[in-house]
């Protein structure tokens, strides 16, 4: 049966020669191929552009685009470069599209991902943003799902319905963008959700937050919390929850440090409506945890 939605996938990448082959192999294995696949080289200095061009040569739906080289800085994720590259790539899509996806280069996708996402968008006209739950490998090499609330969509696999994307674009080029965008979407009347895909979660080959070191990743998460407006009480509760994550104790403390450093420096933040919604939602979830919790918390549950 012919696809009912036109799906475009944009993959921004920078020096991803180690992971890009896995991503592209899993893209080629999709039971429902993307109508358009744009591989956006954001100034790589390794062999990843050659790998992208080799893939495009044998896949007519694929184009490789290159953005000018840029200064990466100490933290290549802090300036929102991947979001800028994605938004730029969306502007390069030829023709109309119904759904556009940002997919990171360090993933191994479930082969049913695109088909499942298309079915979800067709079934629910109010679904504006969706994605896959993601797993990482534990010490024994077994996939374990990352913490993720059901209404949150991980930044590594973001699928936007056209009307939703138009309502919230341009995406905020700052840490925390992948919470800010979904709060904007819900404030605009759209539903957001992570989905269980038949066959299991897509795999995040590079664990979330580990790029440039795990402690920097925790500090980055704290800066995210500042950017989208978490209440300090909720930040403290999340830090306590993170104390058990590796590296133990230091992770939660680094999260608090990141939030405090961002607050002292008054780093950029989301608009007031988003911050108000995030703050209220966090306090409501804390209140439910305090008043209704009667058993040991699930380690995968997110505050």
Q: 7-204 adopts what CATH topology?
A: Spore Coat Polysaccharide Biosynthesis Protein SpsA; Chain A (3.90.550)
Overall average pLDDT of the 133-142 stretch: 92
List, for residues 62-77, the tens digit of each pLDDT value. 999 999 776 665 555 5
Residue with tokens 């790539």: 89
**Which residues have CB under 8 Å from 293's CB, separation 6+?**
none
What's residue 74's pLDDT? Answer: 55
From CA 216, how far away is CA 221, in angstroms rounded?
9
Phi and psi torsions of 125, nearest 5°: -65, -15
Share of the chain above pLDDT 70, in %: 90
Radius of gyration of the chain (CA): 19
List, for residues 202-221, the tens digit of each pLDDT value. 999 986 545 567 888 899 99
Q: Which helix (H) or strand (E) holds 135?
A: strand 134-137
Integer angstrom CA distances of residue 49 from 45, 78, 85, 114, 209: 9, 23, 15, 24, 24
| Dihedral angle, C-alpha 141, 145, 147, 150, nearest 10 ° | 170
Does residue 257 carry a pLDDT above 70?
yes
Does residue 86 carry a pLDDT above 50?
yes
Q: What angle do CA 201, 163, 95 make, to 5 degrees?
A: 90
Q: What angle do CA 91, 96, 101 make, to 5 degrees?
A: 60
List, for residues 154-191, the tens digit of each pLDDT value. 999 999 999 999 999 999 999 999 999 999 999 999 99
Q: Which residues pair with 99 in a beta bridge?
A: 7, 161
302 — pLDDT class (breaks 50, 70, 90): low
> Six-digit token pair at 27?
């893209």
Overall average pLDDT of the 264-273 stretch: 96
CB atoms near residue 119 (< 10 Å): 15
Could you state, in order of their start, the residue ranges of all structural domains in the chain?
Answer: 7-204, 214-290
- Which of 74, 44, 36, 78 lies closest to 209, judged by CA? 78
CA quadruple 103, 105, 106, 109: dihedral positive or negative?
Answer: positive
Write a three-state SS string for 123-134.
Answer: HCCCEEEEEECE
């Amino acid at each position: 049966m012919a696809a009912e939605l036109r799906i475009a996938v944009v993959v921004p990448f920078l020096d991803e020669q180690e992971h890009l082959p896995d991503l592209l192999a899993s893209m080629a294995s999709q039971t429902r191929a993307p109508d358009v696949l744009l591989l956006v080289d954001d100034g790589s200095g390794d062999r990843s552009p050659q790998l992208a061009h080799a893939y495009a040569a044998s896949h007519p739906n694929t184009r490789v685009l290159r953005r000018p080289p840029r200064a990466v800085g100490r933290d290549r994720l802090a300036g929102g470069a991947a979001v800028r590259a994605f938004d730029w790539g969306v502007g390069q899509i030829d023709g109309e599209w119904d759904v556009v996806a940002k997919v990171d280069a360090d993933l191994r996708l479930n082969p049913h991902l695109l088909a499942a996402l298309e079915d979800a968008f067709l079934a629910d006209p109010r679904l504006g943003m969706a994605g896959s739950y993601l797993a990482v490998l534990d010490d024994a090499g077994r996939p374990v799902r990352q913490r993720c609330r059901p209404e949150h969509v991980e930044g590594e696999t973001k699928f936007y319905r056209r009307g939703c994307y138009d309502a919230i674009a341009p995406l905020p080029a700052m840490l925390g963008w992948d919470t800010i965008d979904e709060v904007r979407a819900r404030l605009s009347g759209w539903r957001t959700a992570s989905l269980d895909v038949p066959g299991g979660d897509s795999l995040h080959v590079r664990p979330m937050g580990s790029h440039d070191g795990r402690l920097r990743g925790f500090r980055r998460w704290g800066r995210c919390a500042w950017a989208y407006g978490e209440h300090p009480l909720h930040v403290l509760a999340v830090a306590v929850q993170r104390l058990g994550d590796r590296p133990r104790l230091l992770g939660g403390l680094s999260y608090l440090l990141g939030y405090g450093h961002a607050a002292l420096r008054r780093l950029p933040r989301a608009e007031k409506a988003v911050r108000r919604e995030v703050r209220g939602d966090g306090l409501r979830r804390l209140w439910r945890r305090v008043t209704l919790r009667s058993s040991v918390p699930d380690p995968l549950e997110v505050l």
